[in-house]
Amino acid sequence: MPSFSNEFINRKVVDSSGELLGSLQGIVIDPRTGDLTEIMVKVEPEIDVTKLPWSMKDNLCAIPAQEVREIDDRVVLRR
């Protein structure tokens, strides 16, 4: 059976101005609360990850859930 997160994998992740940051590769859920805590994004190769305000984990950008404004056909960040 497919998991809930598989529905969102590979969706485009864009900043608040609509610029492409990368693609969603995973989500992190707090097992105690069931709340979304982070999204894991594969950043586009032309983006310098050292200039991003978020940390990298296993070559993916870990973006806190508070930074997500909307999830629809793409993931839109607050900044």
27-49 pLDDT, tens digit per residue, is 999 999 999 999 999 999 999 99
Dihedral (Cα; 29, 30, 33, 34), 10-degree rounding: 10
Q: Which residues of the chain have pLDDT under 70?
A: 1-5
Prediction pTM value: 0.90
Q: Does the domain formed by 4-77 have CATH 2.30.30.240?
A: yes
Contact (Cβ atoms closer than 8 angstroms) between residue 41 and residue 60: yes
